[in-house]
Every structure is written in structure tokens, then in C-alpha cells.
Amino acid sequence: MKITALKRQKKHLTLVCFEDGEILLDNDVCTDHSLKAGTDISKEKAEELLYESEYARAKSRALWYLDRADRTEKALYKKLVEAGFDKKASAAVIARFCEVGLIDDRRFAEGFAARCLESNVSARETVRKLIEKGVPADIAKEVVSESDTDEDAQIIAVIEKKYARKLETENGAQKVYAALIRKGFSFSAVKKALKKYSEELEYSEE
């Protein structure tokens, strides 16, 4: 296959033209392999160049994504595939990023769990959110279990911030109880916290 022309395109790409077709390659790949009009390459070589180009472009896009937000292996791979990159090249980029530490699901989980703890998100809900973001279930559960969580204090904080007024309404206690359970707090902890909050409120009003 003889190259008849190279035409620069947008987005750092070059259209490599042959007598019987054309392929789109990353500019750097063309430069690295000294491609020019008149160069002969085999079909196998063209396929290798296509993969190398796809890998380079997927890597560049992955770095762009990570520059904006930390992500899990699963989430970043999904972003690349959804953006139209080849699955094999995307998987190779993810594997390399994990190898050099650019992606670390445990590190992501620890940071996310810490933020959830600061916001009084329940341990159960934190695990659910981590798994939803692509953290393996075993890592999510392990990281959250290592957190210094005071569930009773969390529930009281949530009540004071969001549900204090609702407790004063008719059937308010039942509604708040249900809302806290939906947030992932345990039945016993919610019951205990509501009782404690009510007792403290009554004491302060005396």
C-alpha cells in the first residue's frame, strides 16, 4: 500500500490517503513513523498504526478527563468507550494508568468516603454511591468500614439540618424516620437518635 497524500485534519489528526483507500491517524503517529507521500506500508502495518493512533488519542482524552475529576477504572473506561474510542485501546490505557498510579480505586474510595463522612452521609449510602461510581464492592465496603463513623452523631446532625421543623408537624416523626432509613441509616440507630433528639428538645424547652 503506497501513501499518495497526507492531509492535516482538525483535532490533531491526519488523513493518510492510499490509491485504494484512506485511514485517519494521530499527527504524532505520522511524525514518529516518518509517514509521507510515496511511503509503502503493508496492510498489517496500517492496522498497527491505527491501533497506536487510537491508543494515543484515548490516552490524551483520558488525561483530559482526569484533569477535571478523579475517576475509577470502570468510570474512566466507560467514558472513553462512550466517546467512541476502541475498547481494546481504552482498556490498555486504563491498565497503564493503573500501573503508574494515575488511577487508584482505593484512593478514590478513601477520598470520596471522607467527603461523605463530612456531609453526614450514612455508611450504607456511601458504599452504594461508591459502587455506583465504579469502585469494586469489596473495596467500597472495606474503605467505609475503616472510617471513624459515629452513626448516632451523623443522624442527629442530619435531623438538625434538614428535619427539625418536620418533626414538629403531624406524623412528622414517622416521616423523618422513613426519610432517615432511606438515607441508609440503621433502624436501631434512627430510633435511638430520634428519641435522644426529642428528649433533648423537651429538656431545652423546660
> Could you say which of 3.30.420.40, 1.10.10.10, 1.20.1250.20, 3.90.1150.10 is the CATH number of the domain covering 3-100?
1.10.10.10
pTM above 0.85, yes or no: no
| pLDDT at 123 exceeding the cut of 60 | yes
Least reliable range by pLDDT among 88-92, 110-114, 198-202: 198-202
Query: What is the structure's pLDDT at 58?
Result: 95
Residue with the bigger pLDDT between 79 and 40: it is 79
Closest CA to 154 of 186, 199, 111: 186
> Tens digit of pLDDT for each residue in 44-64?
998 999 999 999 999 999 999
Beta bridge partners of 17: 5, 22
Least reliable range by pLDDT among 130-139, 141-150, 167-176: 167-176
Query: What is the structure's pLDDT at 203?
Result: 44
Task: At 91, give phi and psi (nearest 5°).
Answer: -65, -35
Q: Which residues contact 147 (CB under 8 A, 6 or more apart)?
A: 113, 114, 117, 123, 126
Alpha helices in the chain (DSSP H): 27-32, 43-68, 73-82, 87-100, 105-118, 123-132, 137-145, 151-158, 172-182, 187-205
Burial of 38 (0-12, 13-18, 19+ CB in 10 A): exposed
What grid cell was written down for 110? Answer: 478513601
